[in-house]
Chains A and B, each alone.
Chain A
C-alpha cells in the first residue's frame, strides 16, 4: 500500500505499535509490516519523521539504550500519547463503521 493511502492513519498505527512496549524505529516499521500482513509496506525512511514529530508533540518519549551491542533510540508512549491513541481508536471505529455501512 502506498504511503499516500495511509495519510491520516500513520500516527495512530505508530502509537498502537509503541503502546505494546518500548521499541526502536526499525522494530516499529517491522511490526507495521508484520501486523498488517505485509499490506503496509512503506518506504522505511518515512516512519522516522513521524516518530520525531510525535515525540515533539509529546505523544512519544525516547531515550538512547544499548541493544544488540549498538546504541539505539527507543520510543515509548507518554500519558498524552495513550489518550491520543484512545481517541484515534474511537475515531477509526466510527469511520470504519460508516464506510462499511455505505459500501456493504
Chain B
C-alpha cells in the first residue's frame, strides 16, 4: 500500500522529501497497528495533494506579498525623495518603472487579498490555486521590471537622473532583486504541486466581500485612481498633465481588467 501511495504522490507532484516523510510516518503507523486501514492509496494521495497544494498556494501568495512589501516601501521612499538633478530618463525606462511598480503593487496585493479570503479552506479548486499563483506571479514580474530599471539608475547609467548613484536606489535594487529571485523559486515550487479539485474561482467581488458586479467595481476603482492622479497633477501645478495621466491610468486599469480579468480571477467567463 505504501509503495503504491508513494508512486501516486510522485505522479501528483509531491516532492521527494515530503514523500519520504509520509512513507516513514505511515510505516510507523503500521508498526503500531499492523491491521490498520489506511484507506485507498490513490484517494489518500489525492487528499495529500489537495491539502498540501492548497496550503502551499496560499502561503506562497502571502509570502510573495511580504517579500514585495519592503521593496515597495523603498521604491516609495525613492519617489518621495527630492533630488537636485531632475533630467528625465528615456521613455522606455520610465514606462518600465511606472508599469513595473504598479504591476508589482496590484499583483502582490490581489494575491494576498485572495489568500486571506481563502483562509481556513481545507482544499481549494485547482483553478483557484492557479489564480492565486498567477496574481503572485504578476507581482514578481512587475517587481522584476522595476528592479531592471532601478539597476540602470543605481549604476549611474543615466547620470542626470536624480536617483543616479543613490544609496537608496542600490538598497531598493538589492531588496527587490532578492524578492524577485526568492519569489520566483517559491512560485516554481507551488506550481509543481497544485490541488486537484474542480470548481470555478471567485471574482473581484469575492475578494472585496461585496456582492457587486465586478465590472462596476473595476470602473469605480479606475475612476478613483484617475481622480487621485488628476488631484496630484493639480497639486503639482500642472492640471493638464495630471488629467492626461489620470485618463491613461484609468484606461490602463480597465484594459487590464478586460484583458487579464479572467486569468487573474477578477471576473468570471460570460455565461
Contact = CB atoms under 8 A, between A and B. Distances in A.
Interface residues of B, number: 27
A2 interface: no
Q: How large is the interface on A (under 10, 10 to 19, 20 to 34, 35 or more residues)?
A: 20 to 34
A48 interface: yes
A56 B51 CA distance: 10
Q: Chain B: interface secondary structure?
A: helix
A71 B28 contact: yes
B257 to A, nearest CB: 31
B31 A53 contact: no
Interface of A is mostly: helix
B24 A71 contact: yes
A95 interface: no
A77 B234 CA distance: 55
A29 B32 CA distance: 12
A101 to B, nearest CB: 25
Contacts of A45: 26, 37-39, 44, 47
A73 B29 CA distance: 10
Given A26-B32, A70-B31, A73-B24, A49 B38 contact: no
A49 B45 CA distance: 9
Interface in B27-85: 28-29, 31-33, 36-39, 44, 47-48, 50-52, 54-56, 58-59
A20 interface: no
Instruction: Indicate the member of A24, A29, A48, A73 with the most B CB atoms within 10 Å.
Output: A48
Q: Which of B25, B50, B58, B122 has the most CB of A within 10 A?
A: B25
Interface of A: 7-8, 11, 24-26, 29, 43-46, 48-50, 52-53, 56-57, 70-73
